[in-house]
Amino acid sequence: MASVNSLASTLQQQLADALTAALPDAGTADPLLRRSDRADFQANGILALAKKLKGNPRELAAQVTAALPASDLIKDIEVSGPGFLNITLSDKSIVETLAARAADGEGRLGVPYNSAAGTTVIDYAQPNVAKEMHVGHLRSAVIGDAMVQILEFTGESVVRRHHIGDWGTQFGMLIQYLIEHPDELNHEADKGDKGDGEAAMSSLNRLYKASRVLFDSDEEFKARSRDRVVALQAGEAETLAMWQRFVDESKIYFYSVFDKLDMKISDPDIVGESGYNDMLEETCRILEETGVAVRSEGALCVFFDDVLGPDGNKVPLIVKKTNGGYGYAATDLSAIRDRVRNLKADTLLYVVDVRQSLHFKMVFETARRAGWLSGDVKAHQLAFGTILGKDGKPFKTREGVTVKLEDLLDEAVERATAVVREKAGKIGLTEDEIVENGRYVGIGAVKYADLSTSAVRDYKFDLDQMVSLHGDTSVYLQYAYARIRSILRKAGDAKPVAHPELELAPAERALGLHLDQFGEVLSEVAAGYEPHKLAAYLYQLASHYTTFYDQCHVLSDDNSPEVVENRLFLCDVTARTLHQGMALLGIRTPERL
């Protein structure tokens, strides 16, 4: 198991050394290496350096070239334009580097671990108890899960936190109603042909509606509900037991949705708002004592110079309400204290709707002022946009109600299954395989659509487009993978073997150079929290492969055995990279499709 330097980083290092050798006075200088259409790479850094040292850039470029070590890395280097270097790598170095990657673990592929890795606490997949999950919760789950996999792959220790909404005054009403109608929270009664998850949600919904009606129409029930909130906050045993039933019933539902999403969520990571209840008072006390928060119209508030309302007045972050209740902000501030102090986070990452950005900005700033977030700890909101319907408006059914997540996922799977079924006969898939692939393709389509656009942008939820075999979709990538696997199966006794002595065709070089970038792309994706860049990389990989496949026949009798082996080798590394990359996005790659 050894990590492999990418060709770009090896070249970068050699150029930097040559620059220093040619110009000892220049200090450490960046050759500014870029991918290029003219050659494999272009180095632009010499221009600025020559300007600084008042030298001739073309002469300097020639000196740098002369100072490069003799090696197999570079096939061709030329000075061009005002003093750029165009660099073409040798075919040998491309194949050798890929062979070193292939020799590393199956999916590890020589990708180095981040030497500065630390601990990230990631807050994602945070639905609310006794409420239906909506498409926003889908985004948080899908993006968060991908970030967890990607960060762990780069060596980060990741602690997952599902900050579910399981606390608040509405529970007074719900619990009081349940105490008065003890048989109402029973999803068996709602079962019919539904699964447990859906039935659990129906039963919660029914109870929610019934209690709301009573709350709005019956003053005495309202008063009893308010007392119930007090009992809940005081931790009164019977009340807590009832509250726990709501949480448990909701979890049955959450788990059924996460399961549909082919996503592992584990109980100990579900630490909802209630988990910070014991800290709220202290959090507010410290904020008040240190002067970070002040009393304003009876509430405990934090003010910011740059957070103003439409009237020009400052809009506060309210940590404690006039009635003494604690809100969302007090909980998030307490969670920060817990995550930094107890979980030893170096980074706090929140995968939350962009509409909560102001909240997080104020919460982070408050935590800094209070000293809970020191300079060494980074807090970042990975903000995501809204899922829109085909009409470009926030996603709703024709009747204008919020779309149920399960229905959406079921429909995606149904469509995908139809697509899979069409081709199933030709490759002899069994009915079980069709069902399984339909699920992987359908759920993959939903995840990929979400992950392939920059998170902060809104995107249109368009199932027709998502399960299309053409264009930037997960199915396209899944087919590319399955096609490669089928070639590898068909190869019979011929095995993937690297042959660095062979000359490469242009499509082979392009594919090889792209494969070599996997590690660099991942480290960029991890550092910037940008899974869409991984999706884009994989899509380009599949496109490079398609070109290679069209131009370079793999299993052809016209090829020498070495060429067959070397092409199978390229197929194998491509398949492994696709498989690993898709897995990091939470998407399966069936062997036969």
* Chain positions contacting ligand ARG, by CB under 6 A: 123, 126, 128, 163, 165, 332, 350, 352
Residue number with CB closer to ligand ARG (402 or 540): 402
Residue number with CB closer to ligand ARG (350 or 372): 350
Residue number with CB closer to ligand ARG (77 or 333): 333
Q: Which of 32, 7, 129, 22 is nearest to 69 (CA)?
A: 22
Length of the chain: 593
Residue number with CB closer to ligand ARG (132 or 406): 132
For the bound state, the minimum distance from the C-beta of residue 80 to ligand ARG, rounded and expressed in Å, comes to 52
For the bound state, the minimum distance from the C-beta of residue 163 to ligand ARG, rounded and expressed in Å, comes to 4
Alpha helices in 104-169 (DSSP H): 135-153
Is residue 43 a contact partner of residue 13, using CB atoms and an 8 Å limit? no
Token pair in block for residue 277: 């209840």
Between CA 341 and CA 335 the distance in angstroms is: 10
For the bound state, the minimum distance from the C-beta of residue 293 to ligand ARG, rounded and expressed in Å, comes to 19
Contacts of 129 (CB under 8 A, 6+ apart): 164, 165, 166, 246, 247, 250, 272
Q: Which of 102, 112, 103, 100 is nearest to 153 (CA)?
A: 112
Is residue 82 a contact partner of residue 57, using CB atoms and an 8 Å limit? yes
Is residue 320 a contact partner of residue 330, using CB atoms and an 8 Å limit? yes
For the bound state, the minimum distance from the C-beta of residue 184 to ligand ARG, rounded and expressed in Å, comes to 24
Residue number with CB closer to ligand ARG (357 or 454): 357
CA 512 to chain centre: 26
Is residue 93 a contact partner of residue 100, using CB atoms and an 8 Å limit? no
For the bound state, the minimum distance from the C-beta of residue 332 to ligand ARG, rounded and expressed in Å, comes to 5
For the bound state, the minimum distance from the C-beta of residue 245 to ligand ARG, rounded and expressed in Å, comes to 20
For the bound state, the minimum distance from the C-beta of residue 574 to ligand ARG, rounded and expressed in Å, comes to 38
Residue number with CB closer to ligand ARG (154 or 331): 331
Contacts of 262 (CB under 8 A, 6+ apart): 439, 440, 443, 586, 588
Residue number with CB closer to ligand ARG (331 or 517): 331
For the bound state, the minimum distance from the C-beta of residue 331 to ligand ARG, rounded and expressed in Å, comes to 7
For the bound state, the minimum distance from the C-beta of residue 385 to ligand ARG, rounded and expressed in Å, comes to 14
Between β-strands 459-460 and 74-80, what pairing exists: parallel, antiparallel or unpaired?
unpaired
Is residue 153 a contact partner of residue 371, using CB atoms and an 8 Å limit? no
Say which residue the tokens 């990929």 belong to: 448
The strand pairing partners of 524, in sequence order, are none
What is the CA angle 527-136-241, rounded to 5? 105
Q: Per residue in 65-81, is it b (16+ CB within 10 Å) or e — as a string? A: bebbeeeebbeebebee
Give DSSP secondary structure letters for 403-437: PPHHHHHHHHHHHHHHHHHHHHHHHT--HHHHHHH
Residue number with CB closer to ligand ARG (287 or 554): 287
